[in-house]
Amino acid sequence: MSQTKAYAAQSATSPLAAWDLERREPKPHDVEIEIMYCGVCHSDLHTARNEWHNTIYPVVPGHEIVGRVTRVGEQVKKYKAGDLAGIGCLVDSCRDCDNCKKGLEQYCKNGMVGTYNSKEKNGSGLTYGGYSKRILAHEDFILSISDKLPLEGVAPLLCAGITTYSPLRHWKVGKGDKVGILGLGGLGHMGVKLAVSFGAEVTMLSHSPSKEADAKRLGAHKFVLTSDEKQVQSLNNYFDFILDTVSAEHDYNMYLNMLNTNGNLVCVGAPPTPAQVPAFNLIFQRRSLGGSLIGGIPETQEMLDYCAANNIVSDVEVINIKDINEAYERMLKGDVRYRFVIDMATL
């Protein structure tokens, strides 16, 4: 075991602060990474504050990790010291169930192991995330990172990128589709960039009037303010697909009404409060309400390669780790353009 500097929340109400954690020495299949950048996902905040009622303290959040390989176990073939590498939201799964065999490790029937706030498979301890100097994982859960793009803009692809890429691909969004992206935050801005790159007509659905110009700059064809009843009415039966990235309580029915016949509203945002949806809102127009969780390892690599080939990165504000608590408050206010990323050299 060796000590690693980190930032942790000690309880639901304590701010994040410096904390030293113990990491294992690399096992034969492990890859160890010195973390250069870690994105700040709203899931980090939900978890640090126990909003999903499942946090084990102390918790070290962070699952948008890029850095350089420092050490590898003797059996590792794919990576060597000096390589750029990344870790997203998953560090282990059973590898044996039908989903794991299909590369859908996020839906492992025996429970995937999250990058933080999870129990390790061998029962040896808990996982701690990327608000730290170093991390290690089995080589099967390490992503290869291109040197073509700025690394601080690549880090958020490991969660915000794959969480929007995966449902857009699964529901085959492309040319000829009318797509709504609901919520312009970390996930939402990646949703806009990716859906536009797939050829869809993209409308940004936002409750923040100040984000209109940015939505257009990111590639959205239209911007609709969700508090403007007239604009909302004009979208009745309009979309083929809506990706809902909102982190707080909101009315799903308003957006179901915007779906055309056979349309899909897919939730990736995970507000702690349950949704109320009358069956009638689905029955009429044969609409579907679905959900999607991050993405498996093969699809995450596919997404990273796609972004490298198409020059797609996240728009980021790089912060010092000391400013993480202020960044959380700003994220809650929607004051982030469009992902905070921690420069781990400041830890």
What is the longest distance spanned by two Cα atoms in the chain? Answer: 63
3-state helix, strand, coil in the chain (%, to 5): 30, 30, 45
CB 46 within 8 A of CB 23: no
Binding to Zn ion, residues 64-93 (CB under 5 A): 93
Which residue number places its CB atom closest to ligand NAP?
185
- Cα–Cα distance, 337 to 215 (Å, whole number): 11
Among 104, 268, 289, 307, binds ligand NAP (CB under 6 A): 268
Nearest to ligand NAP of 9, 160 (CB atom): 160
Nearest to Zn ion of 159, 218 (CB atom): 159
For residue 245, the partner it binds in Zn ion, ligand NAP, none, with Cβ less than 5 to 8 A by kind, is ligand NAP
Stretch that binds ligand NAP, among 19-27, 107-115, 263-271, 319-327 (CB under 6 A): 263-271
Among 331, 341, 342, 344, binds ligand NAP (CB under 6 A): 331
Among 12, 97, 232, 293, binds Zn ion (CB under 5 A): 97
Which H, E and C letters describe 162-221, residue by residue? HHHHHHHHHCCCCCCCEEEEECCCHHHHHHHHHHHHCCCEEEEEECCHHHHHHHHHCCCC
Structure-token pair, residue 237: 């039966």
User: Which pairs from 148-151 meet CB under 8 Å and 24+ separation?
Assistant: 148/308, 149/307, 149/308, 149/311, 149/313, 150/313, 151/36, 151/37, 151/66, 151/84
Q: Is 46 in the site for ligand NAP (CB under 6 A)?
A: yes
For residue 250, the partner it binds in Zn ion, ligand NAP, none, with Cβ less than 5 to 8 A by kind, is ligand NAP
Among 117, 247, 300, 301, binds ligand NAP (CB under 6 A): 247
277 CB contacts (<8 Å, ≥6 apart)? 252, 253, 256, 289
Nearest to Zn ion of 110, 233 (CB atom): 110
Q: Is 245 in the site for ligand NAP (CB under 6 A)?
A: yes
Radius of gyration of the chain (CA): 20
Q: Is 243 in the site for ligand NAP (CB under 6 A)?
A: no
For residue 97, the partner it binds in Zn ion, ligand NAP, none, with Cβ less than 5 to 8 A by kind, is Zn ion
Binding to ligand NAP, residues 176-235 (CB under 6 A): 183-188, 206-208, 211
- Cα–Cα distance, 61 to 40 (Å, whole number): 8
Nearest to ligand NAP of 9, 31 (CB atom): 9
335 CB contacts (<8 Å, ≥6 apart)? none
Nearest to ligand NAP of 72, 331 (CB atom): 331
Q: Is 98 exposed, middle or buried (0-12, 13-18, 19+ CB in 10 A)?
A: exposed
- Cα–Cα distance, 46 to 247 (Å, whole number): 9
Return the DSSP state at 309.
Answer: H
Q: Is 43 in the site for Zn ion (CB under 5 A)?
A: yes
CB 7 within 8 A of CB 46: no
For residue 23, the partner it binds in ligand NAP, Zn ion, none, with Cβ less than 5 to 8 A by kind, is none
Nearest to Zn ion of 128, 223 (CB atom): 128
Which residues are at the interface with Zn ion (CB under 5 A)? 41, 43, 93-94, 97, 100, 108, 110, 159
Which residues are at the interface with ligand NAP (CB under 6 A)? 41-43, 46, 159-160, 163, 183-188, 206-208, 211, 245-248, 250, 268-270, 292-294, 331, 334, 336
